[in-house]
Amino acid sequence: MLNPYQTKLVVIKRVIKESSDVKRFVLEFENNVDKENFNFIPGQFIKVSIPGLGDAPFSFGTSPRIKENFEIAVRAVGNLTNFLNRMQIGQRLGLRGPYGNGFPMDIIKKRNVLIVSGGCGFVPFKSIIDDYLIDRKNYHGKFQIFYGARSFDDLLFSSNFEKWENNKIDLKLMVDKEDNMCKDSQYKCNVGLVTELIKNEDLVEKPVVLVCGPPIMVKFVILELDKLSIPHSDIFVSLERRMECGIGVCEHCAIGPYYVCKDGPVFAWDKIEWIPNII
């Protein structure tokens, strides 16, 4: 019988510092069969294991089209992530997954897309955007991104912004307070909350909206989207919950009748909005 908790080994191929506390890790399967069999959908997640410290869920930050390797972004907040962020090229990690349901890629490819995100919540969207950049002919709508973080330094993937804009992605940034990094950059840093962008900017027409960020942000983003009468079935939210097993057994990530690890982490908002204390 297959052991659902067994991990496969990956090697750290590159480590890139993204911000003061976030690093990107390029990971490659040690075993070629594992590499060939590995497929994922943007928005799904893996559990990265560090024996002695446990395991933790991470989103994919690269296009599933790239088979050679994939990326995760790690913010040093706890024991495992602090340890992980000190790891070096060539060291090995265990992982299992991918788990859950990702973003609705068939809808995303057909429609105008508005991405609203805060902080580290942006990682799964990087996967979608990378995919769009590689496979543009199959994406038929416009992309608009509203991305907020504490400071310019905390905005992940800033080295990609120029490329995104050159590829007709409408990118709007928001920070809590303006700093020198912001002033020195070629981008306009709006100061305030990401919800203000929804209020003040012209939105792409009839968008499918993808949301991922801190619960408090998600809550106010939806309130703002409601003012524009965007149907809740067009809003997809990626939720964060504690996950131990990743396969819908341990109960930690349960919300109402669903499991975030198995039925999510991406949910159409109309499916879950009625659940008490959902965000």
Partner 1 sequence: MTKTKFLELINFLQKNHKVYGPVLDRANRLLVREIKKTEHLVLDGRLTHYSFKNLFLPDCEPLFDYDHQKLKEPNYSYEKRAIVGMTISDLKALELYDQVFAKDPYYQERKRQTLVIGYGIASKKSYSEELIYVQQFEENILEHIKFDIFLELNSDKTDKIFNGSNLIFVGSEEGMKVLDGFGYKNYDKIEYVGPIKEEGLDRTMMAINDKMKKSYTKKIWENIGKRCIECGQCTLVCPTCYCFRIDDEPSLDRSKGKRVRCWDACMYHEFSEISGKTRLLKNTEQRMWFWFYHKFVRIPEKYKIPGCVKCGRCSRVCPVDIDFMKVLQDVLKS
Residues that bind partner 1 (CB under 8 A): 1-7, 9, 49, 51-56, 75, 77-78, 81, 92-94, 215, 240-242, 244-245, 247, 249-252, 254, 256-257, 276-277
Q: Of 169 and 255, which has the nearer Cβ to partner 1?
A: 255
Using only the alpha carbons of the chain, give its radius of gyration: 18
Sheet containing 143-149: order of strands: 189-191, 169-175, 143-149, 113-118, 208-212, 235-238, 266-268
Tell me the C-alpha distance between 12 and 93, whole Å: 8
Instruction: Give the residues across from 47 on adjacent strands.
Output: 57, 96
Phi-psi label, residue 148: left if phi above 0, alpha if psi -120 to 50, beta otherwise: beta
- CB 216 → partner 1: shortest distance, Å? 10
CA neighbor of 236 nearest in space, from 142, 82, 91, 113 = 113
- CB 31 → partner 1: shortest distance, Å? 13
- CB 202 → partner 1: shortest distance, Å? 34
Alpha helices in the chain (DSSP H): 32-37, 79-84, 105-110, 123-134, 161-166, 180-184, 194-200, 215-227, 269-272
Q: Of 215 and 231, which has the nearer Cβ to partner 1?
A: 215
Q: Of 208 and 245, which has the nearer Cβ to partner 1?
A: 245
Q: Of 53 and 268, which has the nearer Cβ to partner 1?
A: 53
Residue 10 contacts residue 93 (beta carbons within 8 Å)? yes
Q: Of 142 and 241, which has the nearer Cβ to partner 1?
A: 241
- CB 141 → partner 1: shortest distance, Å? 33
- CB 54 → partner 1: shortest distance, Å? 5
- CB 250 → partner 1: shortest distance, Å? 5
Residue 239 contacts residue 260 (beta carbons within 8 Å)? yes
CA neighbor of 60 nearest in space, from 36, 42, 75, 87 = 42
Q: Of 145 and 245, which has the nearer Cβ to partner 1?
A: 245
| Upper half-sphere CA count for residue 98 (Cβ side, 13 Å) | 22
- CB 148 → partner 1: shortest distance, Å? 17
Q: Of 207 and 265, which has the nearer Cβ to partner 1?
A: 265
Q: Of 107 and 247, which has the nearer Cβ to partner 1?
A: 247
- CB 190 → partner 1: shortest distance, Å? 25
Q: What is the residue-wise DSSP string for 97-138?
A: EEESB---HHHHHHS-EEEEEEGGGGHHHHHHHHHHHH-GGG
Residue 112 identity: N
